[in-house]
Amino acid sequence: MLQQSLDLAFVSGVGEGGIPDAVFETALADLAPALERLRGDARDKTLPLLGLPADTADLPGIREAAARLRDGASDVLVLGTGGSSLGGQTLAQLTGYGTAGLSAFLPEPRVHFIDNLDPLTFATLLKTLPLKTTKFVSISKSGGTGETLLQSIAAITALRGAGVAEDRIGWHFQGLSEPAKPGKLHALRALLEPFGVPFLEHHTGVGGRYSVLTNCGLLPAAVLGLDIDALRRGAARALAPVLAGEPVAKTPAAQGAALNLAAARSGRNIAVLMPYSDKLALLTRWWMQLWAESLGKDGQGTQPVGALGPVDQHSQQQLYLAGPRDKLFTVITVANKGKGPAIDAALAERIGEQDFAGRTIGDLVAAQGLAMIDTFARNGRSVRKIHVDHVDEETHGELLMHFMLETILTGYAMGVDPFDQPAVEEAKILAKRYLAEGRG
Ligand code: PA5
């Protein structure tokens, strides 16, 4: 169960450097109509995201597709970018994906998320992978994203080059996209369906960066053997106070939104999210997209920064503590005490660290998280604490829903639409023009 504490964010908690308490009080008042609006979305079923935690009807289909993908596969490449990839990645990290030292030793099928388009990486991958036992999942809500389409075409060409027969190409693929609209070319389906590639339907009412709890995130999670029911159950926990009609004071996501609003209004233009757990490192990447793309509108929004504890104490801490007071810190601690290797007493003594004797690495990480929070406070830096007892599917689902609700509520209170992204089109259109003109 997620526990959130805001005490050390305000002047009353950390002294002059904190967010003025009165600014937070005003933000709290502004959150009341935002929360009411969100509740209306749930009541009127206008925001399908809010219906997901209670829905299990789609889970058998996801498990079936996952079993088909696992069948005979040594490697599964998830092709998709932005919101079509980051949710899956953060869930995959529960199994060690993207974690230094662990990712090299994961069992088959190995899952790879190829979210960035890089010609050399993709060429090397296609040359190196055992293509006869490699499967590809092409995920694109719109079905028209250039990165995903080009990767899918290159994968088909590589399979052909490896001697895979035309009628076997479909076996290597799974598609995930919205249904085709009548009279309109759906590029991804037009590319893959002629090979007999099966498609899962992308929820039409849940956009990419909010899609982690739909089949977009849950399909890769199921391929990796994660408990996808538990992810939805955890999400239900974060949503419960909204559905129960609790006031802002008793709704953690609304409290978090008020804090962020107050931070922005008092000149803290940077929001830093710093978990003390490798399993949450990619959650910060997912959150950065969610926060930036949802709120960066009409000259508003704050800059999301992902950090990781304790390693970033050796990288960012100097700036965080002694640089400009333009940041709101959120530290996520996990009950690490007693976890991990125990420290040999004689060896601890030999290095002059008697206090390490008999402790575990988890004891130190737990102490470091607490110490970091207190150091932020002593230096007059606004810090929010979020604590979870452990990181599993349920707590992960809860954290994901918490941050999605917090983002939506912040957007509602700021008066921006947290679901669109009008500014991202311009560069896409220009890149297509330059490609046609041979520029670049
Ligand atoms: O969150 C978003 O809306 C974006 O990041 C999209 O997910 C991303 O641009 C990919 O779009 P699509 O899923 O249509 O390929």
* Ligand 1 atom with least separation from CA of 83: 7
- The pLDDT value recorded for residue 428 is 87
Distance 292 CA to ligand 1 centre (A): 13
Cβ atoms of 409 and 35 closer than 8 Å: yes
* Ligand 1 atom with least separation from CA of 81: 10
Tell me which of 113, 141, 152, 287 to substitute to probe ligand 1's pocket, judged by most ligand atoms within 8 Å of the beta carbon: 141
- The pLDDT value recorded for residue 401 is 98
- The pLDDT value recorded for residue 332 is 98
Does ligand 1 lie within 6 Å of residue 142's CB atom?
Answer: yes
Does ligand 1 lie within 6 Å of residue 207's CB atom?
Answer: yes
- The pLDDT value recorded for residue 168 is 98
Count CA atoms closer than 13 A to 312's CA, side-chain side: 21
- The pLDDT value recorded for residue 246 is 98
| C-alpha to C-alpha distance for 402 and 236, rounded to whole angstroms | 10
Distance 84 CA to ligand 1 centre (A): 6
- The pLDDT value recorded for residue 31 is 98
**Which one is catalytic: 314, 425, 426, 437?**
314
- The pLDDT value recorded for residue 439 is 93
pLDDT tens digits along 21-45: 999 999 999 999 999 999 999 999 9
Regions in the chain scoring below 50 on pLDDT: none
314 noted as active-site residue: yes
CA distances from 438 to 123, 148, 154, 432, 433 (A): 21, 20, 20, 10, 9
Q: Which two tokens stand for residue 3?
A: 């526990």
Residue of minimum CA distance from atom 2 in ligand 1: 208
Nearest partner of 23 among 6, 41, 43, 4, judged by Cα: 6
Distance 141 CA to ligand 1 centre (A): 7
Tell me which of 142, 147, 148 to substitute to probe ligand 1's pocket, judged by most ligand atoms within 8 Å of the beta carbon: 142
3-41+230-423: in CATH 3.20.10.10: no
Does ligand 1 lie within 6 Å of residue 288's CB atom?
Answer: no
| C-alpha to C-alpha distance for 269 and 328, rounded to whole angstroms | 8
Cβ atoms of 385 and 393 closer than 8 Å: no
The domain defined by 53-226 folds into Rossmann fold (3.40.50)
- The pLDDT value recorded for residue 425 is 86
Provide CATH 3.40.50.10490 ranges for the chain.
Answer: 3-41+230-423, 53-226
Does ligand 1 lie within 6 Å of residue 148's CB atom?
Answer: yes
203 noted as active-site residue: no
This prediction's pTM: 0.97
Cβ atoms of 29 and 38 closer than 8 Å: no
